[in-house]
């Protein structure tokens, strides 16, 4: 402990992350301004990408960081969407505030779900969540006021008089359908930025460290005062909230819902898992890479129906067999790039002395 050194300090950023930060800000500005010059189809594609990204980020938070491999996230997509439809149709609420309510209802569903599912481990947990989602789907299809098993559409009066939609119509001089797309797109941008920002923030707090610690070694984590049980709860509820909001938003844009669609394990969980795993689980970058790959595959190949799906399956298998850390895992192993660094680096103090020592010894032979 010498006094002629700088005091200790902790840094998290890297050079790449600072550049990435600046680029991200530019990207956000571009995303927000996009509707001014982009075609509607691009806006819709972006909406799809952003909402799938949100679902993927939350699933990644659950499975990649929280170790909770759920195959029942479609329950929260569906319940969020149905809650939104319910209050719009039955109580006449405007759909925009109803989206938030979708998230709240998803959390309300998540509480009993967690109470039950947390009693189960590993594969039991996975299957348990799947069954719970099925139960929610079956219950929802008994709810005749929103169409039962048939499903229903948002009343056209509600979609036509959507909050802000008129302002957007006059701002961009577009038809009301296009204005609605722009509005949903903006909401998706907000949701995606908030999700990634929020998860990144969480991972950089001490809770993020605790999550990683629990994942590495749960007994040791408990022994240093980490409440592993509460971490699981927090992660599960946060993921349910975000997933519920995303579900409500997705179905606001679709304007039509049915239990089979809204609670589809394939669309809302299996594809999401694909995205996360193809991109790289346990990183924030992974789902971003994954969703882009997924989107490209879908837009190139979706017209080939069965062949497209077969190819998707094969790609998933190959990545799992040969690159279990996903594409981002490959990229960052090659380049060492981290766009969302969470690692804390201690500097100053005794580390400075050491650094200058090693520097000297490195320089010596040259001199």
Sites for other proteins among residues 224-283 (CB under 8 A): 224-228, 254-256, 258, 260-261, 264-265, 267, 270, 273-274, 277, 281
Structure tokens at 190: 């907000």
Judged by CB under 8 A, does residue 333 bind other proteins? Answer: no
Instruction: Report DSSP state, residue 151.
Output: -
Residue 193 or residue 208: which is nearer to other proteins going by CB? 208
Does 213 sit near other proteins (CB under 8 A)? Answer: yes
Q: What is the rounded CA–CA span in Å between residue 185 and residue 174?
A: 15
**With binding defined as CB under 8 A, does residue 4 bind other proteins?**
no
Q: Which of 161, 163, 307, 360 binds other proteins (CB under 8 A)?
A: 307
CB neighbours of 162 closer than 8 A, spacing ≥ 6? 94, 95, 96, 180, 183
In terms of Cβ atoms closer than 10 Å to its own Cβ (0-12, 13-18, 19+), residue 247 is buried
Strands 345-347 and 256-257 turn out to be unpaired
Within residues 11-70, the interface with other proteins by CB under 8 A covers 39-41, 44, 63, 69
Q: Which of 303, 334, 335, 366 binds other proteins (CB under 8 A)?
A: 303
Among residues 49, 212, 234, 237, the one that binds other proteins under rule CB under 8 A: 212
> Which CB, 31 or 154, lies closer to other proteins?
154
3-state SS assignment for residue 355: helix
Q: How far is the CB of 106 from other proteins (least distance, A)?
A: 19
| CB neighbourhood size of 237 (10 A) | 17
Distance, CA of 95 to CA of 102 (rounded, Å) = 10
Closer Cβ to other proteins, 170 or 366, answer by number: 170
Closer to other proteins by CB, 91 or 367: give it.
91
Span of 15-23, 189-197, 203-211, 285-293 interacting with other proteins by CB under 8 A:
203-211
Nearest to 132 by CA among 115, 149, 148: 115
Residue 334, interface with other proteins (CB under 8 A)? no
CA-CA distance, 226 to 219, in Å (whole number)? 10
Applying CB under 8 A, which of residues 15, 91, 173, 305 lies at the interface with other proteins?
305
Residues 155 to 174: which contact other proteins by CB under 8 A?
Answer: 155-159
Q: Out of 23, 296, 317, 333, name the contact with other proteins by CB under 8 A.
A: 317
91 is an interface residue for other proteins by CB under 8 A: no
Residue number, 206 or 334, with CB nearest to other proteins: 206
- Helix extents (H) in the chain: 15-33, 40-60, 74-91, 95-117, 122-140, 156-160, 165-172, 176-204, 206-216, 218-223, 228-254, 259-262, 265, 271-279, 285-301, 306-322, 326-335, 350-366
Name the CA radius of gyration of the chain, rounded.
Answer: 23
Tell me how far apart the terminal alpha carbons of the chain are, to the nearest angstrom: 30
Residue 89 C-beta: closest distance to other proteins, Å: 5
Question: Is residue 1 a contact residue for other proteins (CB under 8 A)?
Answer: yes
Residue 178 CA to residue 186 CA, distance in Å, equals 12
**Among positions 97, 333, 344, 359, the unique one binding other proteins when judged by CB under 8 A:** 344
Are 290 and 274 in contact by the 8 Å Cβ rule? The answer is yes
Asked if residue 152 binds other proteins (CB under 8 A), the reply is yes
359 near other proteins (CB under 8 A): no
Number of residues that bind other proteins (CB under 8 A): 108
Which residue from 170, 223, 335, 361 is in contact with other proteins, where contact means CB under 8 A?
Answer: 223
Q: Is 361 in the site for other proteins (CB under 8 A)?
A: no
Residue 29 vs 324, nearer CB to other proteins: 324
């Amino acid at each position: 402990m010498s006094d002629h050194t700088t005091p200790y300090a902790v840094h998290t950023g890297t050079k790449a992350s600072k550049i990435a930060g600046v680029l991200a800000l530019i990207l956000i500005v571009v995303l927000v301004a996009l509707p001014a010059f982009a075609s509607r189809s691009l806006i819709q594609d972006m909406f799809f990408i952003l909402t799938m990204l949100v679902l993927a980020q939350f699933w990644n938070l659950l499975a990649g960081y929280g170790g909770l491999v759920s195959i029942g996230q479609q329950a929260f997509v569906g319940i969020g969407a149905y809650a939104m439809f319910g209050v719009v149709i039955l109580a006449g609420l405007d759909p925009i505030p109803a989206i938030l309510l979708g998230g709240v209802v998803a959390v309300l569903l998540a509480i009993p779900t967690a109470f039950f599912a947390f009693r189960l481990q590993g594969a039991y947990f996975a299957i348990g969540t799947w069954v719970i989602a099925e139960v929610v789907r079956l219950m929802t299809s008994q709810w005749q006021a929103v169409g039962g098993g048939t499903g229903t559409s948002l009343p056209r009066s509600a979609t036509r008089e959507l909050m802000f939609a008129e302002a957007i119509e006059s701002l961009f001089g577009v038809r009301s359908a296009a204005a609605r797309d722009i509005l949903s797109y903006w909401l998706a941008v907000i949701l995606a930025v908030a999700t990634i920002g929020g998860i990144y923030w969480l991972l950089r707090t001490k809770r993020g460290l605790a999550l990683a610690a629990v994942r590495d070694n749960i007994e040791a984590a408990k022994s240093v005062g980490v409440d592993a049980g509460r971490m699981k709860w927090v992660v599960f509820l946060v993921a349910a909230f975000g997933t519920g909001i995303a579900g409500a938003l997705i179905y606001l844009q679709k304007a039509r819902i049915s239990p089979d669609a809204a609670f589809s394990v394939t669309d809302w969980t299996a594809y999401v898992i694909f995205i996360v795993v193809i991109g790289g689980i346990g990183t924030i970058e992974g789902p971003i890479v994954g969703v882009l790959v997924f989107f490209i595959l879908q837009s190139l190949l979706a017209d080939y129906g069965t062949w497209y799906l077969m190819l998707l399956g094969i790609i998933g298998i190959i990545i799992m067999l040969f690159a279990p850390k996903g594409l981002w895992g490959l990229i960052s192993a090659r380049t060492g790039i981290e766009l969302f660094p969470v690692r804390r680096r201690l500097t100053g103090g005794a580390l400075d002395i050491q650094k200058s020592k090693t520097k000297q010894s490195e320089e010596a032979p040259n001199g």
